[in-house]
Amino acid sequence: MKTLLLTVICLFTLSVATAQIAQVSSPNDKLKVELLLVQSKPFYTVIYDNKTILEASPLGLTTNEGDFSNNLTFVNAKSGHIDKSYSQAKIKKSQIHYQANTLTCTFVNSNNDSIDITFQVSNNDIAFRYELPAWGNTRACVVEREATGYKFPVQTTTFISEMMSPMNAFARTSPSYETGYTNDEPVGKASGNGDGYVFPGLFRVGDDGWVLLSETGVRSLYCASHLSDGKEEGLYTVEFPNVKQNNGFGSTGAQMALPGVTPWRTITVGSNLTPIVETTIPFDVVDPLYEPSQEYQYGRSTWSWIVWMDGSMNWNDQVTYIDLASELGFEYILIDALWDDNIGYERMKELVAYAKSKNVDVFLWYNSNGGFNDAPQGPHNKMNTSIARKKEMKWLQEIGVKGLKVDFFGGDKQETMRLYEDILSDANDYGLMIVFHGCTLPRGWERMYPNYVGSEAVLASEMLIFSDYARDNEAFFATLHPFIRNAVGSMEFGGVLLNKYLNKGNKVGQERQTTDIFQLATAVLYQNPVQMFALTPNNLTDVPAFEIDFMKEVPTTWDETIYIDGTPGKYAVIARRHGNTWYVAGVNAQETAVKLKLNLPMLANQKVRLYSDDNKLNPTLKEAQVKKDGAVDVIIQPKGGMIIVSN
Ligand code: CA
């Protein structure tokens, strides 16, 4: 009797306190978002194909001018539709058609100040953000924290990467998004340092679907966010940067002019991994922030530093690597750190001219510092103020440099987002492309900034040189990137290492664990419009000629990208099209060979080139025939690779 009474009371309470206030579905009606008000707090749920993907998950934010996460009253909801087409030469796909249904819900808080929450729902992607009007004469606020969260069903497992601690790692340069991943582990785990997990994060909702969480449209007007530790019952919330980043300087919240909007938080959902690999949501909901000052040329680059290290940062070795780029038909050389001391400004002008004489253009390295890390590598103090930057960039333009690699940022605060944006904007004025290293995840930047061409934000090739852990797990991480990090943004990995030992001597030391074909496959698997490849001059003669020929022809821009096969952590096969040529690339992280019947309808009935490892892991190139129905059998060896190229 007592229990029954309690149940009746609970049901009664629930019915008055919980109200579904609005809902929005994708154009194909499979993906649904429902907005709820539970005891005056806003929540949302996500349903895909009639299965619960996110349970009631919190919404709202708190500003210094009022709380918009509690004591809210629903005012009204407006629906709409977006249909937009655009082209973008430097992401996974060149022509994009984005269609979404939209829902904007207006709430007022206890002060009668209002906030809008807007959802855009396309067939496999949800983007949502908060839109704040001016409140009377209040035209500025600071967003102090968000209630925004994602509550996964209990059966969900995670593929997520820990946020690094502030002012840690090399020369106090972290966080820089360079840690490992959980692999199919239960929800609810705390990170090692309590700082949570970076965007993007991949979640598998048992057999009900896959979810990729990220954010986009983050620029100088907000901080970058990340995911909390796993909280009770599968909840992850949006967290602002640790205040200790950047030596404790700069605020962790976001300063906003009113009216103002937050970045978009994105949720990509599918019953399989196709929508995850193929999503363009980071780019669909943002627009270019300025016109390109010129048409930027993407391409491939050599760089000596990755294998020959600091000792190669001298005139002679840079000439050697310019000659290597020229021999390979690569468009660029990246001249890395220490050039200011070891080559000098005067001779750099000559070196750029020499490169030009060999039909090679130059990317130059810069330290982003500033006053927020101890990295000793120069040039210093050239990128951190507008005055120094413009003077330097004017010189760079005069001597014909085409791009910069700016390194060591170490923070997600709004303070740092301003620096990223200011560097990009100034660089465009001087015709310079920008690559960031030691940095945050790009959040829609490929579309927002016309001269932006990629970020590291991954445990990249340098760690293969420095760390046994990275070498041992190279294949494992490679099977994650197409589904996680590289699914939402360009990834400047700096790979394709063909030395057996990852040093200049190539005889002893850091032994590569993966095969040559694995390495070649990453040239396709990893997407960045300018790729710094880790080839060395000896590779011209000490690997089979067909490997070098492959590197001479492999493109860095793609018209289409599609998921073919794979499971994160085990193996991955994706296909990319450049013009009329398809490249299908696969890697295997498992202890045993994987035998696959690939379905490649776009290559049906065609003769193709098949690069693979034989059972002794030696590289082979053969002609293969794709059957009439598009089927082709391939074997990918342990820590090996596979590439199919159409003729
Ligand atoms: Ca790095």
Q: Which pLDDT score is estimated for 17?
A: 62
Please report how the helices 516-525 and 545-553 are oriented relative to each other, as an axis angle in degrees rounded to 10. Answer: 10
- Distance of CA 306 from the midpoint of ligand 1 (Å): 11
- Reply yes or no on domain 459-527+547-647 having CATH 3.40.50.2300: no
155-168: average pLDDT: 97
- Distance of CA 438 from the midpoint of ligand 1 (Å): 4
- Distance of CA 437 from the midpoint of ligand 1 (Å): 6
- Distance of CA 106 from the midpoint of ligand 1 (Å): 43
pLDDT band for position 372 (cuts 50, 70, 90): confident
pTM, 2 dp? 0.96
Tokens of 330: 């690569």
d(CA 575, CA 557): 13
DSSP state of 259: S
List the one residue out of 235, 171, 159, 234 whose CA is nearest residue 198: 159
Tokens of 273: 């991994």
Q: What is the DSSP string of 153-169?
A: -TTEEEE--BPPPTT-T
**pLDDT one-digit tens code per residue, 385-439:** 999 999 999 999 999 999 999 999 989 999 999 999 999 999 999 999 999 999 9
Where in the chain is CATH 2.70.98.10? 18-279
- Distance of CA 366 from the midpoint of ligand 1 (Å): 13
**pLDDT one-digit tens code per residue, 579-629:** 999 999 999 999 999 999 999 999 999 999 999 999 999 999 999 999 999
- Distance of CA 405 from the midpoint of ligand 1 (Å): 11
- Distance of CA 573 from the midpoint of ligand 1 (Å): 26
- Distance of CA 421 from the midpoint of ligand 1 (Å): 20
Q: Identify whether the C-beta of residue 502 lies closer than 8 Å to the C-beta of residue 464.
A: yes
d(CA 107, CA 73): 5
- Distance of CA 555 from the midpoint of ligand 1 (Å): 24
- Distance of CA 259 from the midpoint of ligand 1 (Å): 37
* Residue in the block written with tokens 């300087």: 249
Tokens of 542: 């000490």
- Distance of CA 462 from the midpoint of ligand 1 (Å): 7
**pLDDT one-digit tens code per residue, 233-265:** 899 999 999 999 999 999 999 999 999 999 999
Q: What is the DSSP string of 459-484?
A: S-HHHHHH-HHHHHTHHHHHTTGGGT
Average pLDDT, the chain: 96
Torsion of CA 50, 54, 56, 60, to 10 degrees: -130
pLDDT band for position 647 (cuts 50, 70, 90): confident
- Distance of CA 556 from the midpoint of ligand 1 (Å): 21
- Distance of CA 245 from the midpoint of ligand 1 (Å): 17
- Distance of CA 407 from the midpoint of ligand 1 (Å): 8
**pLDDT one-digit tens code per residue, 197-215:** 999 999 999 999 999 999 9
d(CA 403, CA 449): 14
Please say if the pLDDT value at position 98 is more than 60: yes
336-345: average pLDDT: 98
95-123: average pLDDT: 98
Torsion of CA 135, 138, 142, 147, to 10 degrees: -20
- Distance of CA 536 from the midpoint of ligand 1 (Å): 20
Q: Give the percent of the chain with pLDDT over 70.
A: 97
**CATH class of the domain defined by 18-279:** mainly beta
- Distance of CA 390 from the midpoint of ligand 1 (Å): 25
- Distance of CA 621 from the midpoint of ligand 1 (Å): 33
Q: Which pLDDT score is estimated for 371?
A: 87
- Distance of CA 179 from the midpoint of ligand 1 (Å): 11
Tokens of 382: 């050239």
- Distance of CA 583 from the midpoint of ligand 1 (Å): 28
Provide the greatest CA pair distance for the chain. 91
- Distance of CA 439 from the midpoint of ligand 1 (Å): 8
- Distance of CA 441 from the midpoint of ligand 1 (Å): 12
Torsion of CA 438, 440, 444, 448, to 10 degrees: -60
pLDDT band for position 5 (cuts 50, 70, 90): very low
**CATH class of the domain defined by 296-457:** alpha beta
- Distance of CA 380 from the midpoint of ligand 1 (Å): 17
Backbone angles phi, psi at 424, to 5 degrees: -60, -45
Where in the chain is CATH 3.20.20.70? 296-457, 459-527+547-647
Torsion of CA 445, 447, 449, 453, to 10 degrees: 70
pLDDT band for position 12 (cuts 50, 70, 90): very low
